[in-house]
Amino acid sequence: ELIRCHGDLHLGQILLRPDGGFAVIDFEGEPLAPLVERRALTSPARDVAGMLRSFSYAAHSARLRAASSCGLCESDVLLDWERLARHWFLRGYFGEVDGAGGHLWPVPPGARQWLISLFEIEKAFYEVDYEINNRPDWAIIPLSGILQVLERWGGDRD
């Protein structure tokens, strides 16, 4: 099913409220997209993928900053943080979605993951273009995301 989505959901669009909850802000969607495209109905997987890509950016940009400031190139802690952030976000998200009923998502977890991965790889290709044109040193972030999705799809098969 298709719905109106945020369209540019990432960590910078989320505020922590004083009561411990979260608020989503800035519903303009992708600023470079035409208005008619931003208002179009789409899969909720687009916003979920945007948030997952945002976790990847947070972890990888922290690694890049650490590498440039103190020579640390590898940090399993940041990779673990990304993995755990993905896990808990999806658990919380689907806990709410499944509790609300409706038919926005396929029921089998595997089908959900395939749908999310499709939108994740689409977003990562968009990010590669953006980074090459604006921050070439950061192109490694979405390229790594593409590799992660391909590995989840079974890219290590012969």
Please state the pTM of the whole predicted model. Answer: 0.85
> What are the tens digits of pLDDT across the range 95-120?
988 888 878 899 898 999 999 999 99
Q: For position 72, what pLDDT does the model report?
A: 56
* Cβ pair 54, 85 in contact under 8 A: no
Closest CA to 79 of 12, 13, 144, 133: 144
